[in-house]
Amino acid sequence: MVDLNRAGVPLLEIVSEPDMRNGIEAAEYAAELQRLVRYLGISNGNMQEGSLRCDVNVSIRPIGQSEFGTKVEIKNLNSFSSVSRAIDFEISRQALLYSQGKGDQIVQETRLWEEGAQKTVTMRKKEGLADYRYFPEPDLPGVILTEEYIEDTHNSLPELPEKKRRRYEEMGLSMQDVLFLANDTNYLEDKPKRGKETTETWHLPLEYLHLNIKAMISLSLLYCALRGEVKLAANWIMGDIAAYMKNEKLTIDEIKLTPEELAELIASIKAGTISGKIGKEILFELLAKGGTVKGLIEEKDLVQIMDPDEIEKMVDKVISDNPKQLEQYRGGKTKLQGYFAGQVMKVSKGKANPGLLNKILLEKLNAKS
């Protein structure tokens, strides 16, 4: 029986130089490779599915010794945390043997990582290259890449995760925000689960994938950075927008909100044209149906009320209609301020400026009767 499970699926093997000194470094190196292949849309990079696999070679070099010691290979690593812990265990195992004068017991072999026992165990011994049974495949010719091809490919690449992270840092975002935004891979993780449309979408050109997955975030932050509101934009993307996408099972290229309108919405809130509460209502309208911020504000008459006299009239009416709550407030139940503020907001249909409302409300509530 021939197993055709992986027929037609290319395998790319990346062999690193011995330039890592502990498990954390190696695990982060592997994680960055995962981010890279996901970013480029060439693989989902899921280790648990076998789309990405890691074998590690560990050898120690005692202080004063110029050559590396005997290399030991470790397999059965199905997570980055396993990579980190297996390497650190193997380093400790070899260092202990060496310190006890048993360096000759460190032999070239393949060991397995036992997750339950948190240790490596011998799988098979290897004495040399012959044990690997390497032989050329006559039906597979060599692949020759010209310098021109390599240069063209390099020039066609989108902005990669590391460069994007540095750019977001320069915008003033925290590292937590940077990692969330620059390493976003929801599109690639969700698409294979979405049904029949998966096949076509999964094979879209690289340029399309890059523009549609990342443009919303990148352009939104760019527009808002020009207005000095990049942090607020990041908060909205990671908060309300991400929550909406998760609840509706949508990807970032499927929502109707554009980067320009997100920037316009944030600017309208900062300018006091609309309140934050109204802003969220507009946000969800834009996410679901699209449109423009200015158009929705005009259509629904959502301009924030900034006239102190108009707000004062609303406050007076609410206080007059709630004598019992007023008495309780003045009797010490000051938390009722929130109740009064909510009632005024209800009267104003959410359009009263919160700052002015609370200032006037406090003056009225604390006034001597």
C-alpha–C-alpha distance, residues 32 and 34, integer Å: 5
State residue 5's pLDDT score: 67
C-alpha–C-alpha distance, residues 239 and 246, integer Å: 11
What domain range is 330 assigned to?
A: 308-365
Tell me if 198 sits within 8 A of 192, measured CB to CB.
Answer: yes
Domain membership of residue 80 (yes or no) is yes
C-alpha–C-alpha distance, residues 350 and 358, integer Å: 13
C-alpha–C-alpha distance, residues 113 and 31, integer Å: 19
State residue 60's pLDDT score: 93
Tell me if 210 sits within 8 A of 158, measured CB to CB.
Answer: yes
Q: Which of residues 38 and 253 earns the better pLDDT score? A: 38
pLDDT tens-digit profile of 291-318?
Answer: 999 999 988 888 888 889 999 999 999 9
State residue 283's pLDDT score: 93
Tell me if 121 sits within 8 A of 114, measured CB to CB.
Answer: yes
Residue at which a domain ends, from 299, 332, 353: 299
Domain membership of residue 56 (yes or no) is yes
Tell me if 56 sits within 8 A of 73, measured CB to CB.
Answer: yes
Its pTM stands at 0.61
Do 353 and 270 have their domain in common?
no
Token pair, residue 344, equals 């005024």
State residue 25's pLDDT score: 95
Domain membership of residue 119 (yes or no) is yes
Do 294 and 169 have their domain in common?
yes
Do 121 and 70 have their domain in common?
yes
Q: In what order do the strands lie in the sheet with 119-125?
A: 54-58, 72-77, 109-114, 119-125
In the chain, % of residues over pLDDT 90? 37
DSSP state of 304: P
Instruction: Please give the average per-residue pLDDT across 320-329, as a whole number.
Output: 91
Do 40 and 106 have their domain in common?
yes
Composition of the chain by helix, strand, coil, percent to 5: 55, 5, 35
In the chain, % of residues over pLDDT 70? 83
pLDDT tens-digit profile of 199-219?
Answer: 333 333 333 333 333 445 655
Do 217 and 314 have their domain in common?
no
Whether residue 186 has pLDDT greater than 60: no
The bridge status of strand 54-58 relative to strand 119-125 is unpaired
State residue 191's pLDDT score: 37
Whether residue 146 has pLDDT greater than 50: yes
Token pair, residue 172, equals 């003033």
Domain membership of residue 17 (yes or no) is no
Into how many domains does the chain fold?
3
Whether residue 30 has pLDDT greater than 80: yes
Do 292 and 177 have their domain in common?
yes
Which of 189-193, 235-239, 251-255 comes out lowest in average pLDDT?
A: 189-193
**How far does the chain reach from its first CA to its final CA, in angstroms?**
93
Whether residue 224 has pLDDT greater than 70: no
Do 124 and 61 have their domain in common?
yes
State residue 213's pLDDT score: 38
Q: Where does the pLDDT of residue 351 fall: very low under 50, low under 70, confident under 90, or very high at 90 and above?
A: confident
Q: Where does the pLDDT of residue 179 fall: very low under 50, low under 70, confident under 90, or very high at 90 and above?
A: confident
Do 245 and 166 have their domain in common?
yes
CB neighbour list of residue 270: distance below 8 Å, 6 or more residues apart: 227, 229, 232
Nearest to 158 by CA among 33, 41, 273, 321: 41
At 75, is the secondary structure helix, strand, or coil?
strand
Backbone angles phi, psi at 332, to 5 degrees: 125, -10
CATH number of the domain within which 314 lies:
1.10.10.410
Do 199 and 175 have their domain in common?
yes
Token pair, residue 325, equals 């709550």
State residue 312's pLDDT score: 93
The full DSSP string for 127-176 is -SGGGGT----TTSPPP---HHHHHHHHHH----HHHHHHHHHHTT--HH
pLDDT tens-digit profile of 107-133?
Answer: 999 999 999 999 999 998 865 666 666
Do 294 and 170 have their domain in common?
yes
Residue at which a domain ends, from 143, 171, 197: 143
Residue at which a domain ends, from 248, 270, 299: 299
State residue 181's pLDDT score: 76
Do 245 and 172 have their domain in common?
yes
Query: What value does the mean pLDDT of the chain take?
Result: 82
